[in-house]
Amino acid sequence: VIGFSLFLIDSTACNINKLDGKKKINVSRIDKIFKTVEVVPLYGDMQIAPFNYIKKSPNFDPSKWPICNDTSTSSMQGNLLMQLPEIREEHERFIADLARYTNEGAIQKVMKRTDQEMKYLYNMALTGLQLLSKWTNSILELYCWKLLHPADYRKGASKYEDDGEEYERATRYNYSSQEKFAMVEILSLIKGLQLQMNRLNETFYEAICSTAYIELQTFVQIHIRDMIKKVTQKKRDLTKRFFLLN
């Protein structure tokens, strides 16, 4: 959105470089953002590179975008090996919490859970889903980044016989052995965590429903209670009838 918006704004009547000089926009900050997020996955094997919109703008000045124009370094999206230690740590920490609860739950399963325990399980389920989404997105972003940065056969002609097709250079010849092993490891972590959470599906479902109900009632009966009381006192028949029915 940022890249496309700047592309639309930049014209002979409105120069984004002058807007940066007037401090109406911060090009250096946007430069860092575009380097961090070089690729935005869309659907399937479709993706866009936000900085490409800036390159096509009428008043593009490479000196204003030093980080994005630096090809010697890649973003975290294209470097899965740098993300792997953090993913391992997150997995170990969450699996430990999950195992601790499973052991405690096996001992106390006959007891009815309190609201605090339900909230704890709700947060645990939310954290697990967020981790699964984050790790899956790391794989997807790497794949999309590779599609936009195909291997250069001139720099590694010994790896394959010819220059290969464009898609082949972006997939088959574009992953190192370390990256392949890292992808397999992360996929195994995703599948393993998914299996562990699926075993507690009923428990998580109960906790999510209970916590959602409590939070909804807290919002209605505490946070907006005064507003409801004020509205009903003004004898607005439609509003009063709505609250009475619900």
Dist CA 199 CA 105 (whole Å): 13
Report the DSSP beta bridge partners of residue 46.
Answer: 43
Res 164: pLDDT: 56
Confidence of residue 107 (pLDDT cuts 50, 70, 90): very low
Confidence of residue 209 (pLDDT cuts 50, 70, 90): very high
Res 90: pLDDT: 94
- 91 vs 98, more confident: 91
Report the DSSP beta bridge partners of residue 43.
Answer: 46
Dist CA 237 CA 246 (whole Å): 14
Dist CA 87 CA 83 (whole Å): 6
Res 91: pLDDT: 95
Dist CA 127 CA 114 (whole Å): 20
In three-state form (DSSP H/G/I as H, E/B as E, the rest C), the secondary structure along 9-69 is HCCCCCCHHHHHHCCCCCHHHHHHHHHHCCCEEEECCEEECHHHHHHCCCCCCHHHCCCCC
Question: What are the residues whose beta carbons fall under 8 Å from the beta carbon of 129, sequence distance 6 or more?
Answer: 197
pTM, rounded to two decimals: 0.75
Res 134: pLDDT: 93
pLDDT value at 168 more than 80: no
Considering the chain, what is the average pLDDT of its residues?
A: 81
Res 162: pLDDT: 54
Question: What are the residues whose beta carbons fall under 8 Å from the beta carbon of 222, sequence distance 6 or more?
Answer: none
Confidence of residue 153 (pLDDT cuts 50, 70, 90): low
